[in-house]
Structure 1
């Protein structure tokens, strides 16, 4: 009988998303302390999305063809840590671009492979996915709150030490994760090109691209936006944490929601929430109450959206195509979409201001809503049943 390595998988998610919790909200503030311009900050932070554009596809292809999934995950941990360590000595744009590219190229390799590893360990008990993934959200909250508190007392360079320690934790967990044979699917040999030609698949990928483009300015400039309007680092961390708490609540409710609503209906609601969220983010920053609403909407714009999208990808890319399917989801959405959003926001932030920059984010979300409305139809029962399995609540 197969025993799920629950704590090792959960621990990996904890540290992986803790890194995001320390890095995404606060590294931009560190770069600002080095007197980098908005364009420079956007360019540097966009390397995380740029490398996710093609890195996961390479690693997914290698894992699918050679079956060395854990070797790649561990190698990624080692080199990502080495790339980040260089930031302790660098303060010039060209060298920092190289270090960021190395960090992002190898760091981006891990999560799509860990997602497929988790589903293979779960086998037919996919309802336990949310119980494992939940620890990633907890790790994010711990990191974002802890780092915010540290930065209220210490200079911005302290974020380097926090992120470095978390990357060590990722590497340690990677060394103890056990491999498991991939689950066989009846359609295991279905060509990936044939899958991508399905209108629902192409539309979902394009919509995911739009959703990540909508979030580009948020991940690069939201903390700078709040700090510029008088919010303390602890308050910034609290607002980021509130968003993740909303995400956790939605994860716990997803099974109930998926029994009542179709995959298409859930996605339409998520994109509609994103349209509203980014408009409020840009124009309502003076109101703490509005910012609370903005972060509560994260439960839909990331939590319900991601649970729905990843379940669909896991079902629509069966067998040996799963690694590349998850890699495509990561690279086209978090990679290409996030890259476009980060670069555009870097160009518009100083000239247009925060309000119009986030309004542009809202327009990306609207484009995603149209794609889902037009092409992601009600379709097969498998679309919805896999969403139910993937999103069962934590008891």
Structure 2
């Protein structure tokens, strides 16, 4: 039998092993996003798919987030098989991208990509659920584990950017498929965590959220501001490539945005302004960002504008999450997050589809539409700010 002094050591070893394997999996999960997000549309363009179809295909992940994703995650939770679902989804994603690489017909690419995204988009919430169970079991901190995902996104984008310089754009899909395959293999190393007791669902009150004008303002504003990134996600790399920028430069521009986002998340505990005002600031930063981007600025200005991603994306998320914590009862938080994800998915998918049509006719002018979306979100939050601040004050007073 192990001595008493050996028991904490064994527990610490198990904790380190869990943390290392999860951090590695987060790395592959977001490394795939880092190669896919900037360069999947470049591959679509390289194999002859036109802008309208690119917009439709790029909307698929957003659509699956408010349709199939809740079913997949709910099924995994009911079956108490989150780890197993991650493994299945990982291998299905790798297979899906491999099949996509063999197809060049728009309708076929769309169909296979849709089937792939049904499982792929569920991997992030499933991984977060798995991570939080491990955090509770081993007494770890979530932030340092998740940080490796953001770092891997930057590495994936830069690595893919380097490869663009040496391989033809029509082969980029195989880089994406390879990273997906690596993630599938790494998923096999995730440790089983046992089966937690199922929590009792809230028996009433969830529908009240959809009658709460403050809550509706939160999710509408967030969805519009985050949805205003649709043209950027879909067409930024294509537009930059058409402007003569190389693959490494494009990857560097994407990486600047993510690095700024990481800085905002790291500094967020020091923010003193009301969360509603943070969202308004983020919205007006988005208006400025998209208005400048629409002018097709030179690389020096574009690099500075990319740093605004920390505000347009990161600050919106920080403010939105703080608002939900203050406005929504804790027993209804999961339902609230689901409504937020669904609303964001609907807005983002609609914006992606419309961006394809607008970009085909007006090019960079599509960003003016994105600026209008962000402005709408900022106005909604500005008009709702007094209601939200009042509710937050009541919650704070109640807690005292």
**Which TM-score tier does this pair reach, normalised by the shorter chain?**
0.7 to 0.9
Work out which of the two has the higher radius of gyration on C-alpha atoms and give 1 or 2: 2
The Cα offsets for residues 38-96 of structure 1, whole Å up to 9 and x where unpaired, read as: 10111121112222231222123334544433333332222222211112321111111
Q: How does 1:9-158 map to 2 (within 5 A)?
A: 9-123=22-136, 128-158=141-171
Partner of 2:293: 281
Partner of 2:308: 297
Partner of 2:277: 265
Shift, 1:162, TM fit: 1.6
1:341 equivalent among 347, 351, 362: 351
* Alpha-carbon distance between aligned partners in 2 of 1:271 and 1:118, rounded to the nearest angstrom: 31
* Alpha-carbon distance between aligned partners in 2 of 1:311 and 1:110, rounded to the nearest angstrom: 24
Shift, 1:151, TM fit: 0.7
* Alpha-carbon distance between aligned partners in 2 of 1:105 and 1:207, rounded to the nearest angstrom: 26
1:197 counterpart = 2:211: yes
Seen in structure 2, the aligned counterparts of structure 1 residues 184 and 31 have a Cα distance that, compared at 3 Å, is: closer
2:221 equivalent among 207, 212, 228: 207
* Alpha-carbon distance between aligned partners in 1 of 2:279 and 2:43, rounded to the nearest angstrom: 35
* Alpha-carbon distance between aligned partners in 2 of 1:103 and 1:213, rounded to the nearest angstrom: 22
Partner of 2:6: none
Partner of 2:371: 362
Q: What is the TM-score when the length of structure 2 is the normalising length?
A: 0.85
Query: More displaced, 293-302 or 10-19?
Result: 10-19
Query: What secondary structure, in the 3-state scheme, does the structure 2 residue paired with 1:353 have?
Result: helix
* Alpha-carbon distance between aligned partners in 2 of 1:330 and 1:174, rounded to the nearest angstrom: 25
Shift, 1:363, TM fit: 0.7
The Cα offsets for residues 333-365 of structure 1, whole Å up to 9 and x where unpaired, read as: 1x21221111111011121221x2101001111
Q: Kindly tell me the number of residue pairs found equivalent between the two proteins.
A: 378
Query: What secondary structure, in the 3-state scheme, does the structure 1 residue paired with 2:244 have?
Result: coil
Partner of 1:392: none
Shift, 1:27, TM fit: 1.2
Shift, 1:9, TM fit: 2.9
User: Unaligned regions of 5+ residues in structure 1, if any?
Assistant: 385-395
The Cα offsets for residues 295-349 of structure 1, whole Å up to 9 and x where unpaired, read as: 1001111222224434555773745x6555444433321x212211111110111
Q: How does 1:306-345 map to 2 (within 5 A)?
A: 306-310=317-321, 313=324, 316=328, 318=330, 324-333=335-344, 335-345=345-355
* Alpha-carbon distance between aligned partners in 1 of 2:253 and 2:315, rounded to the nearest angstrom: 19
* Alpha-carbon distance between aligned partners in 2 of 1:63 and 1:56, rounded to the nearest angstrom: 11
User: Unaligned regions of 5+ residues in structure 2, if any?
Assistant: 1-10
RMSD, aligned α-carbons: 2.9
**Structure with the greater relative contact order (CA < 8 A, sep ≥ 6): 1 or 2?**
1
* Alpha-carbon distance between aligned partners in 2 of 1:366 and 1:311, rounded to the nearest angstrom: 21
* Alpha-carbon distance between aligned partners in 2 of 1:11 and 1:325, rounded to the nearest angstrom: 30
1:223 counterpart = 2:237: yes
The Cα offsets for residues 106-125 of structure 1, whole Å up to 9 and x where unpaired, read as: 11112123233334444499
